[in-house]
Amino acid sequence: MRIGVIGAGSMGGILARHLAKLGHQVSIANSRGPESLTALGAEMGATPVSVIDAAKAGGLVIIAIPTRAIADLPSALFVNVPSSVVVIDISNYHPELRDGRIHAIDRGMLDSQWVAQQIGHPVIKAFNNIFAKSLLEKGVPRGRKGRIALSVAGDSLDAKAAVFRLVDDLGFDPVDGGDLDNSWRQQPGTPAYCQDLEAAALRRALSEADRNRIAEYRAEQEARIRKSMAAQRVEE
Ligand SMILES: NC(=O)c1ccc[n+]([C@@H]2O[C@H](COP(=O)([O-])OP(=O)(O)OC[C@H]3O[C@@H](n4cnc5c(N)ncnc54)[C@H](OP(=O)(O)O)[C@@H]3O)[C@@H](O)[C@H]2O)c1
């Protein structure tokens, strides 16, 4: 499959590398332009392109950039992209640590609903609730005991089915996270967030989440990250 990856950092880089290894034709873009990705692209087996060309790459596009940067993407980026193209949003909104306040989300819009609104194209939420290190190291073949499960949320069943296949190919058990209106269940700090759970435990965690606690979950997750960053600084 032809896949465009927008974002070549921790997550975009790992996804591009693994997808290229699986035989997909991967194009990759960052904010600084394709020239800055020449060496990395060659090493990972992906073609460096502009953001505009990554969005037009083909059947599937992965957006792997900080949430606040989504508002900086070229306007009309997806205007001529066919509705059949699956766009995966892997972003997590971190208002205090990175993104600054996005008022629509603070007022109750879900992270991925805001992303879909910004880009003007439906999105599937996936890969947001696994840390880069686990994505890099913990994929295993189907049927292996302890295989980590990843939830996939979105409104199109066909698009979700395509993402389920990708998740499986990458070494994880796909779990249906419901429609996009349920995607808050896998947002930062929820029981289903970055716990490396197996499928049954992930389904349980998704169902145990409390919609009234979205902001609290997020704040708790930011506090955890802050604490772990402080501990790392002490170790250094
Ligand atoms: N790291 C994790 O463990 C993890 C796990 C799950 C989800 N996520 C989410 O995944 C997203 C990416 O995280 P990351 O850790 O991979 O970030 P990262 O390592 O900081 O990489 C960010 C990438 O986004 C690119 N970028 C920034 N603004 C851009 C723009 N306007 N247009 C095109 N590219 C742009 C950067 O390109 P330049 O370097 O050229 O600016 C860089 O390649 C975030 O939303 C994050 O919350 C992260």
Q: Which atom of ligand 1 is nearest to the CA of 36?
A: 40
Find the distance separating the first CA and the last CA of the chain, reported in whole Å.
43
Q: What is the pLDDT of residues 117-133, one digit of tens each?
A: 999 999 999 999 999 99
Protein residue whose Cα sits closest to atom 6 of ligand 1: 128
* pLDDT tens digits for range 72-124: 999 999 999 999 999 999 999 999 999 999 999 999 999 999 999 999 999 99
User: In this structure, which residue's CA is closest to atom 32 in ligand 1?
Assistant: 31
CB under 6 Å to ligand 1: residues? 6-12, 29-32, 51, 64-67, 69, 72-73, 90-92, 128, 131-132
Mutate to test the pocket of ligand 1, among 65, 196, 228 (most ligand atoms within 8 A of CB): 65
Neighbouring CB atoms inside 10 A of 23's CB total 10
CA distances from 215 to 44, 183, 199, 211 (A): 37, 14, 26, 9
- Residue 44 banded pLDDT, cuts 50, 70, 90: very high
CA–centroid distance, residue 33 to ligand 1 (Å): 14
Does the pTM of the predicted model rise above 0.95?
yes
Chain centre distance of CA 234:
30
What's the CA-to-centroid distance between 141 and ligand 1, angstroms? Answer: 27
Phi, psi dihedral angles at 62 (to 5 degrees): -110, 125
Pocket test of ligand 1: the residue of 5, 6, 11 to mutate, having most ligand atoms within 8 Å of its CB, is 11
What is the distance of C-alpha 105 from the center of its chain? Answer: 17
Q: Which residues pair with 175 in a beta bridge?
A: 151
Ligand 1 centroid distance, CA of 7 (Å):
5
With a cut of 80, say whether residue 135 has pLDDT above it.
Answer: yes
